[in-house]
Amino acid sequence: MTQAGEQKKIWVTTTGLPLTIELEWPFHRSTSGADFWVLHGEIRLENSDGLHAPVAVNLSATVKEVLASLEPKDAEAPVINALRKEVDRTQIEFVKSGKLKPVAFSSRHYDFKRQKWVFGKATDEVIATFLERKVYWSTKLGGEKRVWVGDPTDAQYLETTPGHLVEIAGRLVAGDGWVRMEGDWAEATAGLMGQAETFENSMRSAVDEVEKKHAFERG
């Protein structure tokens, strides 16, 4: 539980899951002899009974070449988004205790022709729902009174721009009045926080999809 006054960064997925992600910097060269670099970390499924997923992000040599460096300032955003996308694709199982899950951080996340990261272009409708969930979960779990909706990492994840995220957030003000905007920051209204059942149900549905997929694979 977050203590009063504390904040923690909540990374929401497009499927509606609130995550916290801890990464053990720096990347290190694989000891297996393979030509890739490894970064260990842990994804925690917030608002759950301690469910988490230990991960090993395996950075391919090809993608390493497009990164300015392996430091957090250059690599953290695409790593976080690659992990979120694997969660979206139900490739990561959340358990109370489990083995390290290797996650490929490879060229499928990078468009060499356009020289940009690609995680799946989101429609305005998807972005609006994403922002509602982001503000709700960041307020409830992250202890944030104001939520930064112009986050470049989220913009990269949704294949849009920070400015467009702020624009869509502004529509939430004009529509249901679920947020109050001040620049790039949004504050949840009582109306948004009153939609708890909707957000909780979306989360449960997304968790169910992950559990069904991995239960099937285990036979």
- The enclosing H or E element of 107 equals none
pTM of the model: 0.90
Taking the domains of the chain in order of start, what are their residue ranges?
A: 11-118, 124-198
Tens of each residue's pLDDT in the chain, 219 residues: 444 445 789 999 999 999 999 999 999 998 876 788 999 999 999 999 999 999 999 999 999 999 999 999 999 999 999 999 999 999 999 998 777 888 989 888 999 999 999 999 999 999 999 999 999 999 999 888 999 999 999 999 999 999 999 999 998 887 778 899 999 999 999 999 999 999 999 999 999 998 887 775 666
CATH architecture, domain 124-198: Orthogonal Bundle (1.10)
Residue type (1 letter), 104: A
Q: What is the pLDDT of residue 138?
A: 96
Q: What's the number of CA atoms in the CB half-sphere (13 Å) around residue 132?
A: 26
Measured CA to CA in angstroms, residue 132 lies from 14, 20, 159 at distances of: 11, 18, 18
195 three-class SS: coil
- Crossing angle between the packed helical segments 124-140 and 196-218, to the nearest 10 degrees: 100
Q: What is the pLDDT of residue 175?
A: 75
The answer to whether the beta carbons of residues 192 and 199 sit under 8 Å apart is no
Q: What is the pLDDT of residue 108?
A: 86
Please count the other Cβ atoms lying within 10 Å of the Cβ belonging to residue 136.
Answer: 25
